[in-house]
């Protein structure tokens, strides 16, 4: 429920601030708004104050501000004070520019608040796999990429951007050890470039993705262990992180599996029930959005005898060449195994999927929209009724947060979002970036927003800031229906003469037809991706 409300709020706040920019700019230049609407169509909830009606429609996937006297064909003698065309073109340009300006301002403000609260981007320090192009060029784990082709990169996101859109097949990387020339992965149609063998420096982790409450678990009334009473299974939450099992540290799912299979325990693990086959887990819960909570809870569970799993090793993304950590998938992982395609067919039943995959030395699989090669093994494993989300926690950067740096970093992050958008748009037009994989509409934005809450509210607010900035930039494109198109009309009028209503009407209708077609396609694609294929990217 929280995720759903968060996604609705994100879309609503983006629309509200954008339209508020138009609304306030109009008020400032002497134009009276007629309708302030969240959503298109007839207002379901509305209230009138003065000459302006404020409304929310049944389908609030957009918004608009309508002004009195905004019909360009209206005879001049009928134009009244406060009408849209009662003011000159420069003032109308300010009205059109107000929406994008407010969208970008919202993004800058949210970024500034995040930075002030301690948010940091991913560090530009990298991890390098041996026997790869990056390793052969001289890069080593622990190197920090300070610049790419002379452009400063103080975070891994900026490194990835400059690498992805580099015009040449070679890069000049400036590291703290000196300059190095590195070959790029050859560009494929519909893809971006990467440096094979290079990933951000990170520590392994795995989080609890789901817990099956029907699995055997230890009842209440356990003896204290390390001064903590072991919690009942109702205390498990999605996103909890297991940091030790039977007193032994774990950082990967494989570490936990090894303890489950072997029954190992630390010498200080004196809890009697551990000797009876129970597993004592130390769980860290992230209550703060910027640092993990230091108070851990303890949980004792009894593993079931065995569960069939599909174990994937040597996983490699065929598009980017990235190596993915090995993982096991069980019947608990419905969100994953239902998205696995074998020979372009997927299975909702885990046993059917296991039979289709079989044991194979190496096999090509598709998970969602991404193609992987992996070594596949079927095995029986002891489990504790949980499924995990395994991955890596990238090392955060350590950029300054003093008042001057806060302002400069906010604007740098804004420029980063703008640059990413414009470069991505250019590559789509070039045909070197996939339109389907790069463009999202309101449905997918809401789905991504709901998903981002699971990673923490800092991720959610950063997403909101980025989308708000992108919304402002995209609305400035010189397309007749968008704000940028209106600005072009009024600019021509200001420096030359007004375009005829016939020309403006024809271009607006053409632009509207293109935009509606585009909108229907994108929304349909989003619905199919989110609700049928179950993928967000």
Q: Tens digits of per-residue pLDDT, 174-194?
A: 888 877 777 666 555 556 777
Would you name the residues annotated as active-site residues?
19
pTM for this structure? 0.70
Looking up tokens 């069939």, which residue turns up? 308
Phi-psi region of 461 (alpha: psi -120 to 50; beta: other; left: phi over 0): alpha
The pLDDT value recorded for residue 359 is: 66
Torsion sign, CA atoms 120, 121, 125, 126: positive
Residue 456 has pLDDT above 90, yes or no: no
Classified as helix, coil or strand, 374 is strand
- Evaluate if residue 122 carries a pLDDT over 60: yes
pLDDT at 410: 92
* Predicted local distance difference test score (pLDDT) of residue 294: 47
Residues 336-359: what's their mean pLDDT? 77
In whole angstroms, give the CA distance from residue 232 to residue 244. Answer: 17
pLDDT at res. 221: 34
Query: Strand pairing partners for 345?
Result: 342
pLDDT for residue 535: 52
* pLDDT value at residue 127: 87
* Integer Cα distance of 410 and 104 in angstroms: 11
Q: Return the top range by mean pLDDT from 44-48, 99-103, 235-239.
A: 99-103
Average pLDDT across the chain, whole number: 78
Per-residue confidence band for 21, with pLDDT thresholds at 50, 70 and 90? very high
**Residue among 445, 390, 366, 424 nearest 160 (CA):** 424
Answer yes or no: are the C-beta atoms of 68 and 35 closer than 8 Å.
no
The residue-averaged pLDDT of 385-397 equals 73
Q: For residue 78, what are its two tokens?
A: 């009928």
Angle between helices 89-116 and 457-474 (to 10 degrees): 160
User: What are the tokens at 391?
Assistant: 């991955």
Sign, CA dihedral 129-135-141-144, equals negative
Q: Which of 302-311, 348-357, 514-523 has the lowest mean pLDDT?
A: 302-311
The percent of residues in the chain predicted with pLDDT above 70, rounded, is 76
Residue 19 sits at φ, ψ, to 5 deg, of: -70, -30
> CA geometry: angle at 475 spanning 521 and 68, to 5°?
105
- Write out pLDDT tens, residues 45-92: 889 999 999 999 887 778 899 999 887 777 666 788 889 989 999 999
> What's residue 292's pLDDT?
40
Question: Closest Cα partner for 250 from 292, 218, 206, 280?
Answer: 206
415-to-111, 157, 410, 431, 466 alpha-carbon distances in Å = 12, 13, 9, 24, 10
Phi-psi group of 222: left, alpha or beta (phi > 0 → left; psi -120 to 50 → alpha; rest → beta):
beta
Q: Please answer whether residues 446 and 460 qualify as being in contact, where contact means their C-beta atoms are separated by less than 8 angstroms.
A: no
Residues 304, 294: contact at Cβ < 8 Å?
no
In this structure, what token pair is assigned to residue 162? 């400059």
């Amino acid at each position: 429920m929280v995720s759903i409300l968060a996604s609705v709020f994100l879309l609503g706040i983006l629309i509200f601030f954008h339209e508020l920019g138009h609304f306030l700019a109009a008020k400032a230049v002497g134009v009276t708004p007629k309708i302030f609407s969240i959503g298109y169509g007839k207002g379901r909830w509305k209230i009138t104050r003065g000459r302006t009606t404020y409304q929310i429609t049944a389908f609030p996937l957009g918004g608009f501000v309508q002004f009195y006297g905004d019909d360009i064909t209206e005879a001049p003698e009928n134009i009244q004070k406060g009408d849209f065309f009662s003011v000159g073109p420069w003032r109308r340009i300010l009205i059109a520019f107000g929406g994008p300006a407010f969208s970008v301002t919202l993004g800058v403000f949210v970024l500034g608040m995040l930075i002030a609260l301690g948010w940091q981007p991913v560090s530009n320090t990298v991890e390098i796999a041996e026997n790869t192009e990056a390793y052969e060029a001289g890069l080593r784990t622990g190197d920090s990429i300070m610049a790419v082709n002379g452009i400063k990169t103080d975070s891994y996101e900026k490194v990835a951007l400059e690498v992805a859109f580099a015009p040449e097949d070679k890069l000049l990387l400036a590291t703290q050890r000196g300059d190095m020339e590195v070959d790029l992965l050859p560009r494929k149609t519909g893809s971006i470039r990467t440096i094979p063998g290079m990933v951000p420096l990170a520590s392994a982790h795995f989080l609890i993705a789901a817990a099956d409450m029907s699995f055997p678990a230890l009842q209440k009334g356990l003896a204290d262990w390390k001064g903590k009473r072991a919690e009942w299974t109702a205390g498990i939450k999605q996103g909890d992180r297991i940091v030790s099992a039977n007193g032994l540290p774990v950082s990967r799912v494989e570490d936990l599996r090894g303890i489950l299979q072997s029954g190992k325990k630390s010498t200080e693990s004196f809890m009697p029930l551990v000797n009876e086959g129970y597993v004592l887990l130390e769980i860290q819960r992230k209550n703060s959005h910027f640092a993990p909570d230091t108070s851990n809870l303890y949980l004792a569970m009894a593993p079931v005898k065995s569960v069939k799993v599909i174990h994937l090793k040597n996983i490699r993304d065929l598009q980017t060449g990235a190596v993915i950590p090995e993982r096991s998938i069980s019947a608990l992982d419905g969100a994953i195994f239902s998205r696995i395609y074998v020979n372009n067919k997927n299975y909702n039943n885990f046993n059917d999927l296991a039979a289709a995959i079989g044991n194979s030395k190496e096999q090509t699989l598709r998970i969602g929209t991404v193609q992987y090669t992996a070594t596949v093994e079927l095995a029986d494993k002891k489990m504790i009724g949980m499924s995990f989300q395994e991955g890596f926690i990238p090392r955060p950067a350590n950029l300054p947060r003093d008042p001057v740096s806060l302002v400069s970093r906010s604007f740098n992050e804004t420029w980063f979002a703008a640059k990413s958008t414009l470069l991505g748009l250019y590559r789509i037009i070039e045909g070197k970036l996939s339109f389907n994989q790069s463009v999202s509409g309101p449905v997918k934005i809401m789905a991504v927003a709901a998903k981002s809450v699971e990673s923490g509210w800092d991720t959610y607010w950063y997403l909101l800031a980025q989308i708000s900035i992108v919304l402002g930039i995209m609305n400035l494109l010189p397309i007749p229906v968008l704000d940028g198109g209106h600005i072009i009309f009024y600019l021509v009028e200001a420096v030359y003469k007004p375009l005829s209503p016939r020309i403006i009407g024809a271009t607006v209708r053409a632009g509207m037809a293109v935009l509606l077609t585009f909108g229907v396609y994108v929304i349909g694609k989003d619905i199919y991706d989110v609700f049928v294929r179950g993928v967000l990217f």
